[in-house]
């Protein structure tokens, strides 16, 4: 531990890899890590956009960010991604396993459970849980060599509690009707299993593994949905993606040096009643 408590949250000279870094939450996570001094590797599907965002963060926070295009469901691409990071930075201190997908077919993604297509289910699982496995595996190998590292995995409140399906009535998101598909809940619950497993598996190697569980975050839902969701929540509102950053920095930094296998729930109290 560093000698000064003020320094506890500092991430200077740390290399942080964020998957799904171009998403609504991913951008906030990446910005937060960069603001605390980390050199952030922006990982998402489109390399060009990753590079743009990396440059933006580098300029803004005077850190050395880097953009890499990678489909985390592809073992080969994940291997290449980690190889490129090690070539450039020689180490990885922080992995934020954050990528998740609705796939490119929103209609298939929001299909009712009774009619849900197995191929669609597998496409989602391929990113939401296989992707976390692959990234943790490849990055973890490096962290084992370093005997040090921290991994944060993004779950969801619906990996922990069940949705109240009544709130989706007349609810829209970016113009389409929405729900929480079972594949989302199942994949996010699986993240909890992987998190706890890896926490004990790598504890002796100096690697901490924790989970970050967001509640509903405002990102383009219609008023009706916001109302319905807010009513379900003790704090009576949806969250703002930037409200997740504090918990992430805590888990990513030495401030949580004795914390592993834990779930940080940032949900305005949704799961407490």
Partner 1 sequence: MNALSDLFSLKGKTALVTGGAGYLGSEISITLAELGARVIIASRDIKKCKDKCNEINKQLGNDCDIHFLELDLMKKKSILHCFKQIDLQFGGLDILVNNAWSGNKNSFESITDEDWEYDINMSLNSVFYCIKRALPGLKKNKGVILNITSMYGHVAPDYRIYEGTEFTNPPSYGVAKAGVIQFTKYLASFLAPDHIRVNCLSPGPFPHEVTQHNQEFIKKISSKNPLNRIGKPHEIKGAVALLCTDASSYMTGQNICVDGGWSIW
The contact set with partner 1 (CB under 8 A) reads 161-164, 234, 269, 272-273
Question: How many whole angstroms separate alpha carbon 107 and alpha carbon 178?
Answer: 9
The nearer residue to partner 1, 62 or 166, going by C-beta atoms, is 166
The nearer residue to partner 1, 193 or 269, going by C-beta atoms, is 269
What phi-psi label fits residue 103: left (phi over 0), alpha (psi between -120 and 50 degrees) or beta? left
Which long-range contacts does 115-124 make (Cβ < 8 Å, 24+ apart)? 116/181, 116/182, 116/183, 120/183, 121/183, 124/181, 124/183, 124/184, 124/187
Q: What pairs with residue 210 in β-bridges? A: 152
The nearer residue to partner 1, 133 or 229, going by C-beta atoms, is 229
Closest separation in Å from C-beta 173 to partner 1: 19
Question: How many whole angstroms separate alpha carbon 152 and alpha carbon 51?
Answer: 23
Closest separation in Å from C-beta 166 to partner 1: 8
Question: How many whole angstroms separate alpha carbon 85 and alpha carbon 211?
Answer: 23
Closest separation in Å from C-beta 223 to partner 1: 21
Within 10 angstroms of residue 60's Cβ, the number of other Cβ atoms is: 12
| R_g (Cα) of the chain, nearest Å | 18
Closest separation in Å from C-beta 272 to partner 1: 5
The nearer residue to partner 1, 7 or 164, going by C-beta atoms, is 164
The nearer residue to partner 1, 69 or 163, going by C-beta atoms, is 163
Closest separation in Å from C-beta 203 to partner 1: 22
Nearest CA to 141 out of 75, 67, 219 is that of 75
Closest separation in Å from C-beta 263 to partner 1: 15
Closest separation in Å from C-beta 154 to partner 1: 20
Q: The sheet that has 263-266: what strands, in order across it?
A: 66-69, 39-44, 15-19, 94-97, 149-154, 207-214, 263-266
The nearer residue to partner 1, 105 or 164, going by C-beta atoms, is 164
Nearest CA to 54 out of 72, 34, 36 is that of 34
Pairing between β-strand 176-177 and β-strand 172-173 as defined by DSSP bridges: antiparallel
The nearer residue to partner 1, 220 or 269, going by C-beta atoms, is 269
């Amino acid at each position: 531990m560093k000698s000064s408590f003020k320094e506890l949250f500092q991430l200077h000279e740390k290399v942080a890899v964020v998957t799904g870094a171009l998403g609504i939450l991913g951008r906030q996570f990446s910005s937060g890590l960069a603001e605390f001094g980390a050199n952030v590797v922006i990982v998402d599907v489109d390399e060009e956009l990753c590079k743009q965002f990396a440059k933006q963060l580098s300029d803004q926070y005077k850190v050395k960010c880097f953009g890499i295009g990678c489909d985390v469901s592809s073992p080969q691409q994940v291997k290449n991604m980690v190889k490129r990071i090690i070539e450039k930075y020689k180490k990885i201190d922080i992995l934020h396993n954050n990528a998740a997908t609705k796939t490119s077919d929103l209609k298939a993604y929001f299909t009712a459970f009774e009619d849900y297509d197995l191929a669609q289910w597998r496409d989602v699982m391929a990113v939401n849980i296989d992707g976390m496995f692959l990234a943790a595996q490849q990055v973890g190998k490096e962290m084992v060599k370093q005997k040090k590292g921290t991994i944060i995995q993004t779950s969801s409140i619906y990996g922990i509690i069940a949705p109240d399906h009544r709130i989706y009535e007349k609810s829209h998101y970016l113009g389409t009707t929405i729900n929480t598909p079972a594949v989302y809940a199942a994949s996010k619950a699986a993240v909890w299993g992987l998190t706890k497993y890896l926490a004990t598996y790598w504890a002796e190697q100096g690697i901490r593994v924790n989970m970050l569980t967001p509640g509903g975050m405002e990102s383009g839902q219609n008023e009706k949905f916001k109302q319905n969701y807010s009513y379900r929540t003790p704090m009576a509102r949806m969250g703002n993606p930037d409200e997740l950053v504090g918990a992430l920095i805590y888990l990513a930094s030495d401030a949580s040096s004795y914390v592993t296998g834990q779930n940080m729930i940032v949900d305005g109290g949704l799961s407490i009643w």
